[in-house]
Amino acid sequence: MVHDIQIIGGGLAGSEAAWQLARRGFRVRLSEMRGSGEMTPAHQTDGLAELVCSNSFRSDDSDKNAVGLLHDEMRRLDSLVMQAGEKARVPAGSAMAVDRDVFSAEVERALKEHPNVTVVRERVDALPESGPTIVATGPLTAQSLAESIVQATGQDRLAFFDAIAPIVHRDSIDMDICWIQSRWNKRTEASNEEGDYINCPMTKEQYYAFHQGLMDGEKTEFREWEKDTPYFDGCMPIEVMAARGVETLRFGPMKPVGLDNPRDTTPEFPQGRWPYAVVQLRQDNKLGTLWNMVGFQTKLKHGAQVELFRTIPGLENAEFARLGGLHRNTFLNSPLVLDRQLRLNRAAHIRFAGQMTGCEGYVESAAVGLMAGLMAASELAGQDWAPPPRTTALGALLSHITGDAEAETFQPMNVNFGLFPPLHEVGKKQRKEAYTSRAKADLGPWLRQLERISA
């Protein structure tokens, strides 16, 4: 079959993109490496949309949870992933969990039966030089294709080791304890009046207790195929640094010099004294709703992270948009290399989708694939693309990936309410319901615009 567009990668994102294009009348060639005699280190089968890790799509609550809201929006767009998920669903309380084999089989059946989809088992070693293409090869992209992507984007635009620092919701930080200041009061042009960092001060006793907690905390282990990936200084886990000596962190990410604590003034130090140690947070998105813990990439298990990081002064009630981690991955610095329609700046015929773009999670990956499919369909139909409102889960996720995140600190992200335009006039207890109510109201007009897209 002659095709209108090629999709490279048959995971959740590629499968969803193929479905959205096919149901609008466009002919799709879906290239999947598995089944051609090739396999990734993590996959067990050659089934499309195989779930490699968990079998959970997380919360299905569309009234109080950002990922549940994303579920709802995808259902309203006839998402194949959500349809297959319903057919494969297993009991999981308020969460959505699936039978892995049933889910993958249902996705593959739907695509193979669609007359506009041709599934080809083949390895693609290089980005096509022409023709509409969506690349959705995921975090374990084959080396040859990854090298082609590096050539197309630039050597420093593709990450192969994912060093994730925790991200905290700004309104959960206690600013009666913390303060905003840049070290030595040095600020950038984009600084606010006070500085670039939120600083959490520690006494000697607090610091030593924190250090011991890092040493004692339960850590995750590398998978077999990750073990030979070396650390480098820019992404070394904080507990590895701490193991080099009890004072090491005070000369690294927890360095206090040049930071005057205004809560600790004396006649001798009227501007404040330097604490024994400081945990710094840096703004992570343009809205200022999310702040990342600088230098705190870690392999502590998630429960251990929450328990330990809430001992940091000012973070006792911290709410985390994302917890830390370190694992092998492949993703673009999307705010730098992709435009607002997920197209490669240097080669506009190529779009990226899924985890390659810097989203995290099954549903988020599928959602970006869905949007990439809609964008490509609109372009093939010769119509202008109207992005989803930023007040929706789809729009908030897309905006973060394609320009609202800080490129310097860009790391994979789950959908969360910290990505949404803030609702300052709403009380904290009512905020989640207010976000979802606004999103559902704003999605309807945008959905009606999509009805005209067809081959």
Query: φ, ψ for residue 225 (rounded to 5)?
Result: -80, 0
Mean pLDDT of 171-197: 81
Angle ∠(375,377,379) on CA atoms, nearest 5: 70
Whole-angstrom Cα distance, residue 20 to residue 263?
56
Alpha carbon 412 to chain centroid, angstroms:
3
Q: Over 50: is that where the pLDDT of 226 sits? A: no
Higher pLDDT, 166 or 380: 380
Phi, psi (degrees; rounded to nearest 5) at 67: -75, -30
Give the position of tokens 């886990």: 237
CB 182 within 8 A of CB 196: yes
What percentage of the chain has pLDDT greater than the value 90? 64
- Give yes or no for residue 193 having a pLDDT over 80: no
pLDDT of residue 266: 87
Q: What is the pTM of this model?
A: 0.76
Q: How confident is the model at residue 259 (pLDDT cuts 50, 70, 90)?
A: very high
Rounded Cα distance, 345 and 99, in Å: 39
Res 232: pLDDT: 41
Return mean pLDDT, the chain: 89
**Residue recorded with tokens 């077999």:** 224
Q: Give me the residue label for tokens 């989809």.
A: 117
pLDDT band at 235 (very low <50, low <70, confident <90, very high): low
Phi, psi of 407 (to 5 degrees): -60, -35
Contact (CB, 8 A) for 354 and 368: yes
Q: Which residue has the higher pLDDT, 158 or 283?
A: 283
Indicate if the pLDDT at residue 327 is higher than 80.
Answer: no
Looking at residue 163, what is its pLDDT? 62
Residue with the larger pLDDT of the pair 278 and 233: 278
Is the pLDDT assigned to residue 230 strictly greater than 80?
no
Q: What is the mean pLDDT of residues 356-383?
A: 96
Dist CA 333 CA 94 (whole Å): 34
Which among 362, 376, 355 has a CA at the least distance from the CA of 30? 376
Which pLDDT score, from 0 to 100, does residue 165 have? 81
pLDDT at 225: 43
What pLDDT score does 182 carry? 86
